[in-house]
Amino acid sequence: MEQSYWLLNVTLDDGFIFEDGKIIGTKTELYNLYINNGVIDTIQLAEIPIDSTKTSVHDAGNLLALPAFKEMHNHLDKTYLGLPWKSCIPAANLIERLNLEAKELAELASTGQHRAEQMLQLLLKGGATHVRTHVNIDPYIGLKNLEEIQKALETFEGKMTHEIVAFPQHGLLRTNSSSLMRQAMNEGATIVGGLDPGGVDLNIEASLHEMMDIAVEFNADIDIHIHDPGHLGFYTIQKLTSLIEDARWNNRVSLSHAFALGDVPIEKSREMASILANLGVSVMSTVPINRVMPPVDLLHDYGVHVALGCDGFYDSWSPYGTGDMLEKVGRLAERYKWIDEYSLSQSLQFITGGVKTLDKDGKRLWPNVGDEASMVLVEASCSAEAVARRVNRNAVISHGRLAYGGLVVESALK
Amino acid sequence: MIRLSKSYWLTNVRLENGFTYQENETINGTATQIYNVKVENGKIASIILKNEPITDGIPQHDVNGLLMIPSFKEMHIHIDKTYYGGPWKACMPAYNGVRTRIEEEQILLPQLLPTAKERAEKMLDLLLSYGSTHVRTHCNVDPVIGLKNLEATIEALEGYKDKLSYEIVAFPQHGLLRSNSVGLIKEAMRNGANFVGGVDPATIDENIERSLETIMDIAVESNAGIDVHLHDPDHLGLFTMQRLAALTEEAGWQGRVTVSHASGLADLSVVEATSIAERFAELGISITSTVPIFRTIPIPLLHEKGVKVELGNDSLTDHWSPFGMGDNLEKVGRLAERFRMIEEKSLANSLQFITGGKTPLNNKGEKVWPQIGDEANIVLVEASCSAEAVARRAKRAAVIFRGNIVSGSISTLETTNI
């Protein structure tokens, strides 16, 4: 696709329809967008004539444009995608599961790039143009998975942007992985990961300090898996927030899973939500249905940035998962009974890095001139429908480039 | 629909043969083999290994190793009440719960009526495409719409009678007693409905005993089964279920009663849930669930106690809920995910919740489906085994009902289209 082109006949959410002060629907309009060097340069109503003599023209055929999706929690290195079917082996607890994984890591290592590419293709097809992946850094696999994942991500260069979390899956302290983690940070990982300082490392304070030290040393953000439940997880989060304050690591830390936030009494969830919001700590959720999840609605109300991910899927941990972020946010909406037009339309922000198409008065928030031209073209009448009905995706555009699907080229116009 | 000859062979069909085990006797996979399956008069007539010679001259259709599994049953849906196939419409917030929805229906039902049949048909097409060849639909019978939705429902279903089997529940959505719908329900039972429905005898009808007794009376009078919506929570739901069980026993209606949703079970202790489960098992009272994310009933416990549990989509976009995909394989995948069925055997077994109890392998790993004489109600899927089909929501290549292709296609099969 060319550097600059007109994208014609794009449907955009353009306002809400109100009746007796209540939102009953979404108003849309047909627009033409001029894309220049990966950026949206012009947005004008489709009825206004364009000068198509100097540039090429593509026709979106009235499809609705949504901001491109972000997959914010994945494990590209773990999936079985691309291999023959394999279900999970039963494990009585987390440590047993880790032992099973350790045995399998070497076996899977050589197909890392191939499997990760299958996953990336699936994510892209669903509309994600950004992926944050955790990659195992542990004594069993060393940096091998990191290398494989980097190769896979390179294949998708220009189609998907990425962040790589160095993830001490077998325990930062438990498996003495600090020096490996530092190596990973030198070798291209961009974020310092962590895992259950209580349940896995058996020393909450030391584990958190070590993680924070590495982050400060590499001037890197943090994304820590906290599965530890109830007040154990809550205490861990509390400890972490005080370290964040000490290190002034505001706006640089994510909590993945953070089940504990949903386990404790609601007053405590509220208290923590306001601390997290003040420190700019974000929460990544995979919207689990087999346990209590963090209260996404409450966290969001308090101003905590919440983003969704598919997690590692179809791997030794879980056989499910489709890699479809729109399905993921649909599940979130279903979980919180966001069934009306307004709630559905707003829910999109959990998979777009906070971008939504309309504010509460129906003022258009996206797209704007100057925005990155990353969008998904879908068969829907509005974004609320897109979320609820998990609509077909016809094309995914990443920084102006067609990354998946197809558009109609209107050469006749030239 | 692709009507095939009266008898034909499906060749290169993958069937499950048993589980595979690792050294310590943990199941780690499913063994399959390639067979040729003969279908005659809509039934499975012969199953032979691929390398055994076929000696007759009847048509052969190569399915190239696709896995054969029993077709699905959609056991709770409202095909008369959907926006599906029409323009998008979100729900309005319900300020007064179910009552808000019922109020909305005063205006909505007459509005939807002219396109009811068309929308029902689109929904049936969708269900078929995902592999369901049986549908139990609830159909509004209420003072607003009378029997008109029933007529549209029957008309739609009659057009599909060669593609799927069906049951119709006469559903007094606005309350059997609350909206004085007893006469209408009786009329519906005389005009094509097969099951007597009901909804929340406490919250909606405000008279548990009389509501349940009336349901039972109509069922006995029409010699029909019962399928009651019970959303009432915790002990209110439990109490209602206990009373329903007592009336079922009194009337001798064992094996003929279903409770839909049974939401109260989600709120009970294991001891309480166990006691009602045992009672239901004894009386053959089944439960249908939509596997809601938020308040899921303890399906594995019910199943373990011998209660027949089946699944349904309920709605696919209507004024109650904008969600729902119509895919029962997705539905059972959600069930499996919800209850952490992640290993081979539990995944394979879970299929029974959407097939009326059928699975290719039984609990011991013995091959039990298909059998000679079984109806040829089949889904051919792109999977290596049932466990994979459930976990990975396998693509469905073709759906066969009583020997005919009712959805999808296989290239070689298309050539015999008449």
Tens digits of per-residue pLDDT, B123-146?
999 999 999 999 999 999 999 999
Q: Report the candidate in B272, B264, B291, B280 with the shortest Cα–Cα distance to residue B354.
A: B291
Instruction: Say what the pLDDT of residue B9 is.
Output: 96
Task: Give bridge partners of residue B226 from the DSSP assignment.
Answer: B196, B257
User: Are the beta carbons of B342 and A330 separated by less than 8 Å?
Assistant: no
For residue B395, give the DSSP letter. Answer: P
Burial class (CB in 10 A: 0-12, 13-18, 19+), B97: exposed
Instruction: Say what the pLDDT of residue A413 is.
Output: 39
Instruction: Say what the pLDDT of residue A414 is.
Output: 34
Asked whether the predicted pLDDT for residue B296 surpasses 90, the reply is yes
Instruction: Say what the pLDDT of residue B417 is.
Output: 37
Asked whether the predicted pLDDT for residue A398 surpasses 70, the reply is yes
Instruction: Say what the pLDDT of residue A5 is.
Output: 94
Instruction: State whether CATH 2.40.128.50 applies to domain A4-68+356-413.
Output: no
pLDDT, tens digit, for every residue of A80-115? Answer: 999 999 999 989 888 899 999 999 998 999 999 999
When CB atoms are compared, the residue of B91, B334, B344 closest to A87 is B344
Q: Which residue of B has its CA nearest to A387?
A: B323
User: Are the beta carbons of A85 and B323 separated by less than 8 Å?
Assistant: no
Cis peptide before B201 (omega within 30 of 0): no
Instruction: Say what the pLDDT of residue A51 is.
Output: 81
Domain limits, chain B: 7-71+358-414, 73-323
Instruction: Say what the pLDDT of residue B412 is.
Output: 52
**B312: Cβ–Cβ under 8 A, 6 or more apart, which residues?**
B74, B75, B76, B77, B136, B260, B288, B289, B290, B331
Rounded distance between C-alpha atoms, residue A259 and residue A271, angstroms: 16
Give the pLDDT band (50/70/90) at residue B418: very low
Give the pLDDT band (50/70/90) at residue A408: low
Q: Is A24 on the interface with B (CB under 8 A)?
A: yes
When CB atoms are compared, the residue of B91, B294, B343 closest to A90 is B343
In one-letter notation, the amino acid at residue A49 is: P
Rounded distance between C-alpha atoms, residue B362 and residue B355, angstroms: 13
Rounded distance between C-alpha atoms, residue A274 and residue A278, angstroms: 6
> Do the first three CATH levels of B7-71+358-414 and B73-323 match, i.e. the same topology?
no
Q: What is the pTM of this model?
A: 0.93
Q: Which residue of A has its CA nearest to B383?
A: A85
Give percent of chain A with pLDDT exceeding 70: 98
Nearest Cα of chain A lies from the Cα of B399 at a distance, in angstroms, of 22
Asked whether the predicted pLDDT for residue B221 surpasses 70, the reply is yes
| CATH fold of B73-323 | TIM Barrel (3.20.20)
Rounded distance between C-alpha atoms, residue A189 and residue A177, angstroms: 15
Average pLDDT over residues A391-396: 97
Q: Is B388 on the interface with A (CB under 8 A)?
A: yes
Q: Which residue of A has its CA nearest to B321?
A: A339
Rounded distance between C-alpha atoms, residue A330 and residue A328, angstroms: 5
Give percent of chain A with pLDDT exceeding 90: 94
Instruction: Say what the pLDDT of residue A188 is.
Output: 97
Rounded distance between C-alpha atoms, residue A138 and residue A188, angstroms: 16
Domain limits, chain A: 4-68+356-413, 69-320
When CB atoms are compared, the residue of B87, B293, B391 closest to A87 is B391
pLDDT, tens digit, for every residue of A120-134? Answer: 999 999 999 999 999
Q: Which of residues 33-92 of A touch B (CB under 8 A)?
A: 84-90
DSSP string, A19-70: ETTEEEEEEEEEEEEEEETTEEEEEEETTS----SSSEEEE-TTPEEEEPEE
Which ipTM did the prediction report? Answer: 0.90
User: Are the beta carbons of B294 and A341 separated by less than 8 Å?
Assistant: no
Lowest-confidence range among A84-98, A234-248, A376-390, B70-84? A84-98
For residue B115, give the DSSP letter. Answer: G
pLDDT, tens digit, for every residue of A186-205? Answer: 999 999 999 999 999 999 99
Asked whether the predicted pLDDT for residue A411 surpasses 50, the reply is no
Phi, psi at A232, each rounded to 5°: -65, -50
A250: left (phi over 0), alpha (psi -120 to 50) or beta: beta
Task: Say which CATH superfamily domain B7-71+358-414 falls into.
Answer: Urease, subunit C, domain 1 (2.30.40.10)
**B418: Cβ–Cβ under 8 A, 6 or more apart, which residues?**
B3
Instruction: State whether CATH 3.20.20.140 applies to domain A69-320.
Output: yes
